């Protein structure tokens, strides 16, 4: 048997410690909306995105480096920050050449967990940069953990679907002995024809949360492949385009 690298899916930050983080590339997945927004800002020319784990730290660093402070708590712009967590807030006209300092409920928290556990490499994944993520994983030939940011540690459908989308494209290059991965792939196969309709039909919690804020456009964008096809890699405190 060929000596392929292994791939695991962690469906919630609470499960991350079950996997060998220090020997893996960790893909941070926060589809609605942190990692979609990160890909979009970088695609549109942002110099970098600095993920921070608290609003206070976001304000502090934003001041130091004259960056754009952005982030949400419970799906809304956090008090004290200038911008929110919608990819549509970061068109090229606005974000080109700027540095974003971003804090979100789940995604940035998971990224710091992976960092603390000594991940070999940290990248961020979302449908807008699906192909870039898959190409990178296939090329690197390293062990992979698909890390779903979930919602306050509760498993969510949209991050699971993205993990499934990645698996469906990279499965031949990895050894996958992981039921969470098989569940993710089965969910993706079930929903892939129309992910928006599938989220709605599945009664996904975060779908409802964002629809209640009038954010259907955000959801649709965040479920569409390759609209911002860059690969954000974490280096020395910043997410940069590879």
**Applying CB under 8 A, which residues contact a copy of itself?**
11-12, 14-15, 18, 151-157, 160, 176-180, 182-183, 186-187, 190, 202-206
The enclosing H or E element of 57 equals: helix 55-65
Q: Cβ closer to a copy of itself: 48 or 104? A: 104
Q: Smallest distance from the beta carbon of 10 to a copy of itself, in angstroms? A: 9
Q: Cβ closer to a copy of itself: 168 or 229? A: 168
Compute the distance between CA of residue 233 and CA of residue 122 in angstroms, rounded to an integer. Answer: 6
Q: How many CB atoms lie within 10 A of CB 76?
A: 11
Strand order in the sheet with 76-77: 7-10, 144-148, 25-29, 121-125, 232-235, 238-241, 48-51, 99-103, 68-73, 76-77
Compute the distance between CA of residue 167 and CA of residue 188 in angstroms, rounded to an integer. Answer: 9
Inter-CA distances, 217 with 36, 44, 46, 221, Å: 13, 18, 22, 6
Residue count (the chain): 242
Q: Smallest distance from the beta carbon of 235 to a copy of itself, in angstroms? A: 30
Find residue 8's DSSP bridge partners. Answer: 145
Q: Cβ closer to a copy of itself: 142 or 205? A: 205
Q: Cβ closer to a copy of itself: 7 or 58? A: 7
Q: Smallest distance from the beta carbon of 182 to a copy of itself, in angstroms? A: 5
Q: Smallest distance from the beta carbon of 28 to a copy of itself, in angstroms? A: 18
In the chain, the largest separation of any two C-alpha atoms, in whole Å, equals 55
Q: Cβ closer to a copy of itself: 69 or 180? A: 180
Q: Smallest distance from the beta carbon of 196 to a copy of itself, in angstroms? A: 15
Q: Cβ closer to a copy of itself: 22 or 177? A: 177
Q: Smallest distance from the beta carbon of 56 to a copy of itself, in angstroms? A: 26
């Amino acid at each position: 048997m060929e000596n392929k690298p292994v791939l695991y899916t962690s469906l919630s930050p609470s499960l991350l410690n079950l996997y060998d983080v220090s020997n893996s590339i960790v893909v941070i997945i926060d589809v609605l909306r942190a990692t979609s927004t990160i890909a979009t800002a970088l695609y549109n020319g942002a110099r970098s995105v600095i993920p921070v784990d608290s609003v206070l730290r976001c304000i502090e660093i934003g001041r130091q480096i004259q960056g754009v402070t952005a982030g949400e708590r419970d799906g809304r712009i956090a008090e004290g920050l200038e911008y929110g967590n919608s990819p549509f807030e970061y068109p090229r006209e606005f974000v080109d050449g700027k540095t974003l300092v971003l804090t979100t409920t789940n995604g940035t928290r998971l990224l710091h967990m992976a960092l603390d556990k000594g991940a070999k490499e940290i990248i961020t994944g979302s449908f807008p940069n699906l192909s870039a993520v898959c190409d990178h994983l296939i090329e690197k030939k390293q062990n992979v953990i698909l890390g779903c940011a979930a919602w306050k540690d509760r498993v969510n459908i949209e991050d699971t679907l993205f993990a499934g989308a990645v698996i469906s494209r990279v499965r031949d290059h990895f050894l996958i002995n992981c039921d969470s991965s098989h569940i993710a792939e089965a969910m993706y196969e079930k929903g892939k024809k129309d992910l928006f309709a599938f989220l709605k039909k599945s009664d996904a919690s975060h779908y409802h949360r964002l629809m209640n804020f009038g954010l259907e456009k955000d959801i649709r964008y965040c479920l569409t492949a390759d609209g911002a096809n860059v690969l954000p890699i974490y280096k020395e405190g910043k997410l940069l385009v590879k």
